[in-house]
Amino acid sequence: MAEPPQSRQSDLRPILHYEEYTIAWICARQEETEAAIYMLDARHRGVFPHVHGDDNHYIPGEIAGHMVVITCLPRNSTGTVSASTVVSQIRQSFRNLRYGLMVGVGAGVPGPNLKPDIRLGDVVVATPSDNSSSPAGVIGYDLGAETVDGFILRDWQAPTDRRLRNALEWIKIEAEFEGTDDFVQYLNVFASREQGRNFMHPMIEDNLYQGDESNELVARPPRETGGPKVHYGPIASGNKLIKNAKLRDELRDKYGIFCFEMESAGIMNTIPVAVIRGVCHYADSHQNDIWNRYAAATAAAYAKGLLNQIGPETKVAIQSAPNSK
């Protein structure tokens, strides 16, 4: 009987160490994960030892000196429960995790009288509104009780971590001072590779319709610059895909929301996380997938800018005092 061939040394993949990674970059869709990979300054080749109970797959790498792992929800498993399961398993394996980034696409909510004037490809970052008494930037709008007096919201979302909130505030201040958003430079990487061009601006009209049954467009002034804008405000998170302009506007007026998505309400109480969404449609019946990849790219570029703002943690060596005898 023939002996099995021995493994060659070149076939062995290096073993990666969970404790070295401090940032979890979480996506819900394939195109969001692809956009995240483009943001890596370096991709680590290797494999993590299997941990029983952790079913996630991780793409490890480095961004701005941070040790980052990228993971994605299973296909066709969006929603708060799936997101909660994924993040719980991340916490089980990566004991030194400091922050999470929930990065991907979402449905933009144009404000009353276009204030804010949210457009496709723009970025929405979850922060409390100026009028809010709560520091939470994510609203679990379908968490509550149906009573004889109507729906009562009972949402216990944790606020964005203070360190992350401070970094977001400084990004906003610097953008207003400089008159431009620094993160836009990271979109250039998509033009440098053939497949990356799928993530560039689709170069079609951005149409906002007056209603679900209408083909009349909302009149909006042209923008002075073609790049994405960033909006800071509450993001609504729940297990329903909103494709109804009337409901969208009702929830906007009730909670002051800027964006809808379907994952963050499941993870805010599990890990300190920043929620970053690129706008791919307007939560109405006219939505399609044309803007998905560009929206995923703008959100990923902002997330990389956030990691550059935070800066990596330094390990301070503790030196023993000289022995005095």
80 confidence band (pLDDT: 50, 70, 90): very high
The model's pLDDT over 105-157, given as tens digits with 9 standing for 90+, comes to 999 999 999 999 999 999 999 998 877 767 789 999 888 777 777 777 776 67
Q: What is the pLDDT of residue 86?
A: 97
Q: Answer whether 279's CB lies under 8 Å from 107's CB.
A: yes
Write the burial class of residue 64 (CB in 10 Å: 0-12 exposed, 13-18 middle, 19+ buried). middle
CA 293, distance to chain mean position in Å, is 14
For residue 155, what pLDDT is reported? 65
Q: For residues 196 and 10, which has the higher predicted lDDT (pLDDT)?
A: 196
Amino acid at 124: V
Which of 1-10, 120-129, 214-223 is predicted least confidently?
A: 1-10
pTM of the predicted protein model = 0.91
- Residue 283 pLDDT greater than 80, yes or no: yes
Candidate from 35-49, 209-223, 291-305 with smallest mean pLDDT: 209-223
Mean pLDDT of 260-282: 95
57 pLDDT more than 90: yes
- What's the pLDDT tens digit per position in 240-263? 999 999 999 999 999 999 999 999
Please tell me the least confidently modeled range out of 9-23, 91-105, 138-152.
138-152
Tell me the per-residue pLDDT of 163-215, one tens digit each, with 9 for 90 and over. Answer: 999 999 999 999 999 988 999 999 999 999 899 999 999 999 999 999 998 99
Average pLDDT, rounded, for the chain: 90
CA 125, CA 277: separation in Å to the nearest integer?
6
In the prediction, which pLDDT does 160 show? 83
* Burial of 205: CB neighbours in 10 Å, binned 0-12, 13-18, 19+: exposed
Closest CA to 125 of 64, 168, 63: 168
pLDDT > 80? residue 20? yes
Residue 225 has what pLDDT? Answer: 78
Asked if 218 and 114 count as a contact pair (C-beta separation under 8 A), the reply is yes
Q: Would you say residue 311 has pLDDT above 50?
A: yes
Which range is least confidently modeled, 9-13, 132-136, 183-187, 292-296? 9-13
Angle at 141 between CA 243 and CA 121, to 5 degrees: 50
Of residues 299 and 3, the one with the higher pLDDT is 299
Check: CB of residue 168 under 8 Å from CB of residue 306: yes
What's the distance, CA 223 to chain centroid?
Answer: 25
